[in-house]
Amino acid sequence: MTQVETAEGERRQDIGSRTPRAGAGGRRAVLFVARPELWRRGPLLTVSALLLGLLMLLHGSVPNRIGQLGSLVETFLPWFGLFVPVLLAGALWRRSASAVVALLLPVTVWLNLFGGLLGDRSHAGGDLTLVSHNVGADNPDPAATAGDLVASGADVLALEEITPEATGTYEKELAGTYRFHAVRGTVGLWSRLPLSDTRRVDIAMDYGPLADTKPVDTTATRALRTTVTTDRGPLVVYVAHLASVRVTPRDGFGTAQRDRGVQAIGRAVAAERNARVVLLGDLNGTLDDRAFSGVGAWMTSAQDAAGDGFGFTWPAGFPLARIDQILVRGVRPESSWVLPATGSDHLPVAARISW
């Protein structure tokens, strides 16, 4: 054997010794995970992952006695999923096997709660297009907002937070498209189809905390009921703008007035004899909030049933929660979506329904 051949053989042997054999990577991974110190690392990360999962799993057990904490957690419940990648990054940085495994709990719970909202649930078709929009009391251009809403193609259009100064503008700008309309206080409904039996709906916040002892102030009306006449039969429509909520150091998540309004609307819908009912409006709360469990028992969210994604609507610049709702009973949502921003701090919501 020549000297050159000997050198070549040694080189190949050296390369072969450095080439990983089949299954070596898997064995190294097993040995890596099996190292006891990796399971002892990052105890704080492990506990945090478990607590996050338990919080989302048992959110209904978070008490409301202290500052309505339970409702506050449920309002922003989907956003708790953002803690998962943060904790995962920490677990990988600390090389903590226990923290990685613990993260399976919050991931599983979050997917169980919200995984169904990630895809497109809409269907083609529909008999009627509904749109609801809190147009904003501080809207600088009501006429432009009205034009945007006309362009949406809505058959039935609900507006909330209409100021006395802007009412005439909306009536003028929408008159060419919608022959029929009804306004009660700060809420109104415009329709291509005839309306009948329109009346205000009593929600506790209309008169303040002592609703039964104060006279009716029609300018403060924030909910109405009317009947839309369609070729498939009557459709009862409620329009509501429930009380706003605030987070303050003294009261926590202040929802008392809103919760009274939710209960009032829930009772009205439950007592409604018509089979087909729609609730449109700014409810100032998400349906994950336990305060809406009564309404949720009687009605279906068009967004949950036929939307695409979460459909957050407020604030318009960077939506964090869906507080503007289209809820239905006795009709089927085919699709639901969020419209582009107008001059309001809320985004409009739309849905197509069929009989």
Residue 2 forms part of a structural domain = no
Residue 170 forms part of a structural domain = yes
113 and 152 inside one domain: no
Helix (H, G, I), strand (E, B) or coil at 238: strand
List, for residues 67-99, the tens digit of each pLDDT value: 999 999 999 999 999 999 999 999 999 999 999
Q: Is pLDDT larger for residue 12 or for residue 301? A: 301
Q: What is the pLDDT, as a whole number, of residue 209?
A: 36
CB neighbour list of residue 79: distance below 8 Å, 6 or more residues apart: 320
240 and 272 inside one domain: yes
List, for residues 23-40, the tens digit of each pLDDT value: 555 555 454 555 667 777
Class of residue 213 by CB neighbours under 10 A (exposed 0-12, middle 13-18, buried 19+): exposed
Q: What is the pLDDT, as a whole number, of residue 5?
A: 52
Angstrom distance (rounded) from CA 187 to CA 134:
9
Is beta strand 300-301 parallel, antiparallel or unpaired with respect to 156-160? unpaired
Residue 16 pLDDT > 80: no
Angstrom distance (rounded) from CA 7 to CA 334:
75
Closest CA to 49 of 90, 102, 94, 12: 102
Number of continuous H segments (helices) and E segments (strands) in the chain: 13, 14
Residue 9 pLDDT > 60: no
95 and 234 inside one domain: no
156 and 240 inside one domain: yes
Q: What is the pLDDT, as a whole number, of residue 248?
A: 87
Last residue in a domain, options 67, 97, 117: 117
Residue 225 pLDDT > 50: yes
Last residue in a domain, options 96, 117, 138: 117
Is beta strand 300-301 parallel, antiparallel or unpaired with respect to 324-329? antiparallel
Amino acid at 191: S
Last residue in a domain, options 117, 147, 170: 117
Q: What is the pLDDT, as a whole number, of residue 18?
A: 52
Band (156; pLDDT cuts 50, 70, 90): very high
Q: What is the pLDDT, as a whole number, of residue 211?
A: 35
108 and 145 inside one domain: no
141 and 170 inside one domain: yes
Q: What is the pLDDT, as a whole number, of residue 235?
A: 98
264 and 311 inside one domain: yes
Mean pLDDT to the nearest integer, 239-258 = 91
List, for residues 264-281, the tens digit of each pLDDT value: 999 999 999 999 999 999
HEC secondary structure over 98-147: HHHHHCHHHHHHHHHHHHHHCCECCCCCCCEEEEEEECCCCCCCHHHHHH
Residue 4 forms part of a structural domain = no
Residue 98 forms part of a structural domain = yes
Angstrom distance (rounded) from CA 199 to CA 206:
14
Band (21; pLDDT cuts 50, 70, 90): low
The model's pTM is 0.85
179 and 281 inside one domain: yes
Place of tokens 């920490």: 90
279 and 145 inside one domain: yes
Angstrom distance (rounded) from CA 176 to CA 178:
6
Place of tokens 């018509």: 274
Residue 322 forms part of a structural domain = yes
Q: What is the pLDDT, as a whole number, of residue 112?
A: 97
Residue 46 forms part of a structural domain = yes
Residue 185 forms part of a structural domain = yes
Which of 89-93, 127-131, 175-179, 207-211 bottoms out in mean pLDDT, i.e. has the lowest? Answer: 207-211
Amino acid at 185: G
Residue 43 pLDDT > 80: yes
Angstrom distance (rounded) from CA 288 to CA 75:
6
- Check: CB of residue 74 under 8 Å from CB of residue 286: yes
Angstrom distance (rounded) from CA 128 to CA 344:
25
Residue 123 forms part of a structural domain = no
Q: Angle at CA 285, nearest 5°, toward 181 and 302?
A: 60
- Check: CB of residue 234 under 8 Å from CB of residue 245: no
Angstrom distance (rounded) from CA 44 to CA 196:
62
Q: Mean pLDDT for the chain?
A: 89
Q: What domain count does the chain have?
A: 2
273 and 154 inside one domain: yes
Residues of the domain holding 27: 12-117
Which of 36-45, 47-56, 136-145, 189-198 bottoms out in mean pLDDT, i.e. has the lowest? Answer: 36-45
Q: What is the pLDDT, as a whole number, of residue 42?
A: 87
Angstrom distance (rounded) from CA 200 to CA 96:
60
Mean pLDDT to the nearest integer, 6-25 = 52
Q: What is the CATH number of the domain that holds 188?
A: 3.60.10.10
Which of 57-71, 219-233, 320-334 bottoms out in mean pLDDT, i.e. has the lowest? Answer: 219-233
Place of tokens 């193609």: 153
163 and 298 inside one domain: yes
The residues pairing with 160 across neighbouring beta strands, listed in sequence order, are 134, 187
204 and 302 inside one domain: yes
List, for residues 179-210, the tens digit of each pLDDT value: 999 999 999 999 999 999 999 999 865 443 33
What is the DSSP track for 251-287? TEEE-HHHHHHHHHHHHHHHH--SS-EEEEEE-SS-T
